[in-house]
Structure 1
Amino acid sequence: MSEILPEELAVEILARLSIKDLSRFRCVCKTWRNLINHRRFAEMYRAISPAKFVAFYDNGLYLLDVEGKNQVTKTPCKLDFPLDLSMIDESTCVLHCHGTLCVTLKNHTLMVWNPFSNQFKIVPNPGLYRDSNILGFGYDPVSDGYKLVTFIDRRDATTAQVFEFKTGSWRESVRIPCPDWHYRERRGTFLDQYLYWIAYRSNVDRFILCFDLSNHEYRKFPLPVYNQAVTWSWLGVKSQKLCITEYEPREKKIQISVMEKTGSWNKNINFSVSNLFSVRDRIWDYQVDFVSFTKKNDLVVTFTGYNNNVDAESKERTKKKVLLYKTGADTFEQVRFCNSVTGFQFLVEYVETPVIIDRIFI
């Protein structure tokens, strides 16, 4: 390859192709196959690939591209779910790490699945797993392996259970002596080698629980001090830093803070939701359903509006909107999927990867 095209240039070109194209180009020669399968190439591919979103709709899972070239109407892509669709519904929890999804199934088991290679693996139940258990899915760079984490509540404590794909088994890990913790969201946020959840014991005792995938230890971080009482909060990643989006329902304000390496919070974005809707739309009581950052650090916000007008038809009593906030330009644009987002339930952000992860599907 070096005689025809320098390897550095070949990498730059290949990293901008689709996953389907890369699957074909793996077959060109051994050199290209090794290059595309290399972890450094996967990291580069993820760095420049746009974030898409997995959503549940019409008894299936769809991939939504909010930053697609067509700015008027986006076309959802239905994913080829490898199991019977009756195994999932609107309560399904989906997690993402390096192009692979972890999906909760109705029979209280878990499945890891790469949508583009269509490889999947059923993860055995750790014994006390329930639909209410929190979950985390991430990569441990120390052991060079992928892990699942769930917390099992017992009478006197909560115990972390860790599934290591290298060994194919669960093992009991750290014991947390506070069984009365509750969590804002079941799905953990993965960043570097850590998983994060917003936890609380009351409205005044709220914090971030951090679990280290390498040493299986946990720490507690304080939430931003200026809004400890907010109950509608989401964790995310912005510019490779942990961030928190907080929604105040009464004032209908969204504010976003970014955690620095020191553990301190910097308020990054602050705006009023009321300003996002026309006068005609304000008859609806809009609430925030889902928030997440794209790879360009733009913010995706999904709203569901409620209209209690008894004269309205039942199908007209709820209305959904998806807005993309362009942080650089400080502007908003409405995102449409086939002219309608009704029924779409956003679940998790997703970034494609060309690597078939042998550390998981073995």
Structure 2
Amino acid sequence: MSLKFPSDLIIDVLSYLPVKSLCRFKCVSKSWSVSISHPQFVKLHQARNQRQKFLLVNGASLYHVDPDPSLLHQELSLSYCKVFPIKHDRPFKEEHDHRNFRDCRWVSESSNGLFCTLMIDPPDHDFFVYNPSTRESKKIPNIESEKESYDRMPYTLLGFGYAESINDYKFVKFFTNRKIIQIFSLRNNSWKTIKCDYPLNVGYIRPMHRFPSSKALFYGIPLNGAIHWMVFGIDYDDRQYYRMVAFDLVEEKFKTLPLLYQFSYKVKRVTVLRDRLCFIDWHDRFWIMEEYGEKESLTRISIPKKPYPYKCTWKNIGYLFLDLDDDGWLQRDYDSTIFDGIRNYTVHAYVENLVFPDFH
């Protein structure tokens, strides 16, 4: 006599498993495959799995890093950390298995588990949405006249983010000299172009953060349903200024986030730490915006000297493996030397999920 478990119990047990196991279990039966792919299960699984992983980008090669949480804050070697090369399992092989990409020029910060990447294979410049947990990807279709726009625009703000209230991922391009913005909706699988209501009176503007490229393309930081950039500008009276601007993905409008004037011109980089904006100044000091949009809430993060001597590791365009402990101290999770043999990489943190990039 065979035992039959209630389907609700099976779903409940499955929701605690890692993505890698769930991808395998889709082959058990058609009903399991349908259940695991169902949007409600995807949300349930995401709520119950918050373990942080890392994506290493080395040229056109991607590597998954699955850290052992019991070894945090220790001097580690590669043997203590699971590193899964995707070099021979290219995430874009379905569309480009006959081509060798020369470079992965840009990877966005993770937004709800997905990344946006710019893969370079001259003369093409293709953007992809990529889920590192499932290895699934979707090429963002080209927009009409995009080639002309890409070649001729001197400064372009780029960003990719998730808006929970509308359950949609959006990729945006803002051409600063033409005051227009192009928006690709992953849910609708379509582009649209709108006039920009840029909130600053400027004669000239350029973003402060650029990824390595011969083109002047600049990336934003996703948080709270908006994409954020630190910009430097000169107004029509030739006065210089530094501002943080954000593009709301729901209302599709720009807004400014106030920063203390004495602080704004010292910002070197912006990132996200524990779902809060984190600013790094030119002295490598870290500041957290405790209350989103409240400039008075900027708090400098304490850096412990004992028992873990702190060394701020800079690699290409980002700080590696930073986190806050329960007391609000900045801790180093891993030293960069654990990845000997993988040179010139950038690191991006994410929480795994089952979201399909082509989920429209």
Greater fraction strand: 1
Q: Contact (CA 8 Å) 1:25, 1:32: kept in 2 or not?
A: yes
TM-score of the superposed pair, with normalisation by structure 1: 0.71
Residue range with higher mean Cα deviation, 116-125 or 260-269: 260-269
Q: How far apart, in 2, do the equivalents of 1:354 and 1:93 lie?
A: 19
Q: How far apart, in 1, do the equivalents of 2:305 and 2:158 lie?
A: 30
Structure 2: 5+ residue runs without aligned partners? 210-217
Residue range with higher mean Cα deviation, 79-88 or 125-134: 125-134
Q: How far apart, in 1, do the equivalents of 2:182 and 2:103 lie?
A: 23
Alignment of 1:1-362 (within 5 A): 4-5=5-6, 7=8, 10-29=10-29, 32-47=32-47, 48-57=49-58, 59-68=60-69, 72=76, 73-79=80-86, 80-81=89-90, 82=92, 83=96, 84-89=99-104, 91-106=105-120, 107-115=124-132, 116-125=134-143, 126-127=146-147, 128-129=149-150, 133-141=156-164, 143-154=166-177, 157-175=178-196, 176=198, 178=202, 180-185=204-209, 186-201=218-233, 205-224=241-260, 227-238=263-274, 240=275, 242-249=276-283, 252-260=284-292, 264-267=296-299, 269-271=301-303, 301-302=319-320, 324-328=322-326, 330=329, 332=332, 334-335=334-335, 338=338, 340=340, 343-360=343-360
TM-score of the superposed pair, with normalisation by structure 2: 0.72
Counterpart code for 2:126: T
Displacement, 1:162? 0.6
Q: How far apart, in 1, do the equivalents of 2:202 and 2:299 lie?
A: 30
Displacement, 1:234? 1.3
1:65-104 per-position Cα deviation (integer Å, ceiling 9, x unaligned): 3455566422322223224443424x43334333332111
Displacement, 1:215? 2.1
Q: How far apart, in 2, do the equivalents of 1:335 and 1:94 lie?
A: 22
Question: Cα RMSD over matched residues?
Answer: 3.8
Taking structure 1 as reference, are residues 344 and 75 closer, same or farther at Cα in structure 2, changes over 3 Å only?
A: farther
Structure 1: 5+ residue runs without aligned partners? 292-300, 303-322
What secondary structure does 2:356 align onto?
A: coil
1:147-203 per-position Cα deviation (integer Å, ceiling 9, x unaligned): 21011133xx42211112345432212423646222233332223422222222269
Number of equivalences:
317
Taking structure 1 as reference, are residues 341 and 244 closer, same or farther at Cα in structure 2, changes over 3 Å only?
A: farther
Q: How far apart, in 1, do the equivalents of 2:323 and 2:273 lie?
A: 15
Q: Contact (CA 8 Å) 1:243, 1:259: kept in 2 or not?
A: no
Q: How far apart, in 1, do the equivalents of 2:243 and 2:340 lie?
A: 37
Counterpart code for 1:256: I
Taking structure 1 as reference, are residues 273 and 230 closer, same or farther at Cα in structure 2, changes over 3 Å only?
A: farther
